[in-house]
Structure 1
Amino acid sequence: FLAADISTQILNFGLSAPIDVRLTGPAANQTANLTIARDLASRMATIPGAVDVHLAQVVDTPQLLVDVDRTAAEDLGLTMRDVASDLLVSLSSSSQTAPNFWMDPKTGVQYPVAVQTPQTRIDSIQALETTPLSSGSVRLASSGSYVSPTPASSLRPELLSNVASVSHGLGPTNVTHFNIARTIDVQAGVDGADLASVASGVQKLIDGVRSHLPRGSTILLTGQPQAMNASFSGLGIGIVAAVILVYLLMAVNFQSWTEPLVILMALPGTLAGIVWGLFVTGTTLSVPALMGTLMSIGVATANSILVVTFAIERLREGVAPVDAALNAGRTRLRPVIMTATAMILGMLPMSLGLGDGGEQNAPLGRAVIGGLVFATLSTLFFVPVVLSAIGYHPPAQVDEGEAKGEKA
């Protein structure tokens, strides 16, 4: 079993394990589904990092099967429901099916009254078969009220052995359903490996099993991998949308399509730095790492704006593109370095993963540090080179006072 550690704060969304393979199908497919689930569990156990692989449902619990002879029961005025109800009352008491209370006339205190066969008397199948059935006597309805006695040749209650046979068997301890269909869950924990790599191995096994499923059965990987994929998809769309919106906003602000494009040239270096930072530290891609990606993109864009706007001002003054780029990189070196350094130092404690639960936010700090290191180099060296290489010449700005004088 996995070691208990509440500092991990892993949310399994109600499941007892991080990885849950749900095999769903009609009741007629349960035998085939169970065989597939057991084979899948044995193969999942060979995946590095997958531990405690097991079936969530216990399907081979010893049980007693009561086979009622409906013809014999009908001759005695009994139905399947009557036999089942009497057996339930005998084994589990009448407190659930017919709750009754007795009030002490002296104290006025109510006491629950239940009828149940002592468990010490039911120690064999033969003892169970002597369970009396309410035939020919006053029968207790499932609602808890008394009904009229059924006429019979004798008021002596019939025994269970007269209408049913009892035998040993195996069956499930609990039966689970998903969208009404019966399910079998193969669950596994993760230890010594990241969730994504283990989930990838499990998904490959599922893809190989899917073609052998009986008609009407489905198999799906759920649990934390499902939530992780949904989070990755949402954050990935968010990152792309953020870049597009930033570009459009800068296009409106600069009244140009070229200048924002040059500014965004710092982003490839930022993304490369994030990948480098995660690779060097052995950190897997996760939701905190993607959040750090968004933060790095914001800081890298701000620093790139400082360099590009200064270079554009020099270009409007008539300076050559190469000289303007060199001047911008030299002049904006200090503010860019100060901004990146402050952010890196602030994220350094988080990246070390110190304290209880600190390892969960460590990918965010590592992604920001790696992204800003490369983004700073890209902003100071690559962005000015791109600006000078394209030979961009911004349109000259016209003073509003001069424009009004010319119109007059």
Structure 2
Amino acid sequence: GFEFYLQNRGDGGVAKLKQSMQAMMGAAQQSPILAGVQTLWRSDSPQLTVEIDREQARAMDIPINNAFNALAGTMGTYYLNDFNKFGRTWQVLMSAEPEFRMSPKDISRIYVKSNGGEMVPISAFAEINYSSGPDSLDRYNNLSAVKLLGSAAPGYSSGQAIAEIERIAKEVLPTDMSYEWTGTAYQEKRSSGSTAIALGMAVIMVFLILAALYERWSLPLSVLLALPFGIFGALVSVWIAGMTSDVYFQIGLVTLLGLASKNAILIVEYALMKKQEGWTTGAAALEAARLRFRPIIMTSLAFILGVVPLALSSGAGAGARHSVGTGVMGGMIAATFLAIFFVPLFFYWLTERKISEQRKQQTIKDEIAQHHEHELNAK
């Protein structure tokens, strides 16, 4: 789900907050992308107010602070001190016994001590009235604010829900009202775009390791070109399952890059070895695909069957396991049964391209050498 605050940056007080909150919730409840948009804030909660006549209290020689402390001490909000127990610090709040603070009439029985030592009932200088108003009024970024909660509707991601809330806010909120994300929605907004960076860094790391392994820059591309098959399979699998690209799926996607690279490396490494033994590029690629087919299928099937319990799990945390299991399983199936036929082709194409470039460079060098030789003979 998501959490955000509506903030009043202008005038209007509670009435302005209530009006903007109702407009925001009304529009959000009509959106098919959002579900369960609500707030725990109530603007018209029944209240019991005690209005102290300060002039009357002064005439009776009663300090105002004594009246407030008597009310707080009876109703349970009077702070005394702290004490340590079980490795934690606890506050001590004073209050009357429950039977002495259950009825509004109990307030009129509270006595306040005057400067002369006389105990005066609070009803002698205060009025007790019923009213309505907000049960609480939060402040966020030092502004009056109301907290709203909600979640994405089934079939929609949290990112789509956040974008929908932002669209509604632009349409219904006045210029002196704003919103701020908090909780997981704030973290998601703050880290938006980091997934692409993580995937990009993973691909770069794989490329650099393979470049160091093969001691050339072009050959690792035959491995990296197999990665889109795994990503495609993962996206298709979560789409078929009606799931979203959440953070758990993205973690599995980074893992999938390494697993897809492993299968491609098995083929490329063996093909390179045969090429160094004098085989032609085409024969080396076909031989590598033939001999590596069974170990790739066996190891991949073992992994796919191993993540089936994740994709079919139930109970607490099942949503996270479904995202990881479904994405990785679908991606691994595609990386195994599609990439295994294309990796030899990529190896052949890149190797032959490199050989063709080397031949052209050698031809140019030979022509330059012959030209210099003719010039020397002419002299």
The answer to whether the superposition gives a TM-score over 0.5 is yes
Q: Counterparts in 2 of 1:5-404, with a 5 A limit?
A: 18-25=1-8, 30-31=13-14, 32-48=16-32, 50-88=34-72, 91-92=74-75, 96=78, 118=100, 122-123=104-105, 133-135=112-114, 137-138=116-117, 157=120, 160-162=123-125, 164-189=126-151, 192-196=154-158, 197-209=160-172, 212-214=174-176, 218-228=178-188, 233-354=193-314, 357-390=317-350, 391-393=352-354
Q: Which runs of 5+ in 2 are unaligned?
A: 82-93, 359-379
Query: C-alpha displacement at 1:222, in angstroms?
Result: 3.1
Query: C-alpha displacement at 1:180, in angstroms?
Result: 4.3
The normalised TM-score by structure 1 is: 0.70
Note the alpha carbon deviations across 1:150-194, whole angstroms, 9 max, x for none: xxxxx68476454x4444322222333334443211123566454
Gap change, CA 1:157 and 1:305, over 3 Å in 2 = closer
Aligned sequence identity (%): 23
Gap change, CA 1:254 and 1:207, over 3 Å in 2 = farther
1:170 counterpart SS class:
strand
Note the alpha carbon deviations across 1:178-216, whole angstroms, 9 max, x for none: 344432111235664545244443232234346x241xx
**RMSD between aligned residues:** 3.6
The normalised TM-score by structure 2 is: 0.75
Note the alpha carbon deviations across 1:310-340, whole angstroms, 9 max, x for none: 2223333443333332232223222222222
CA distance in 1 between counterparts of 2:28 and 2:181 reads 12
Report the residue type matching 1:295 in the other structure.
T
CA distance in 2 between counterparts of 1:117 and 1:318 reads 97
Report the residue type matching 1:204 in the other structure.
R
Report the residue type matching 1:381 in the other structure.
F
Query: C-alpha displacement at 1:302, in angstroms?
Result: 1.1
CA distance in 2 between counterparts of 1:362 and 1:293 reads 13
CA distance in 2 between counterparts of 1:309 and 1:78 reads 93
Gap change, CA 1:300 and 1:92, over 3 Å in 2 = closer
The structure that is helix-richer by fraction is 2
CA distance in 1 between counterparts of 2:251 and 2:183 reads 22
Report the residue type matching 1:21 in the other structure.
F
Query: C-alpha displacement at 1:284, in angstroms?
Result: 1.5
Q: Is the 8 A contact 1:61 1:172 kept in 2?
A: yes
2:30 counterpart SS class:
coil
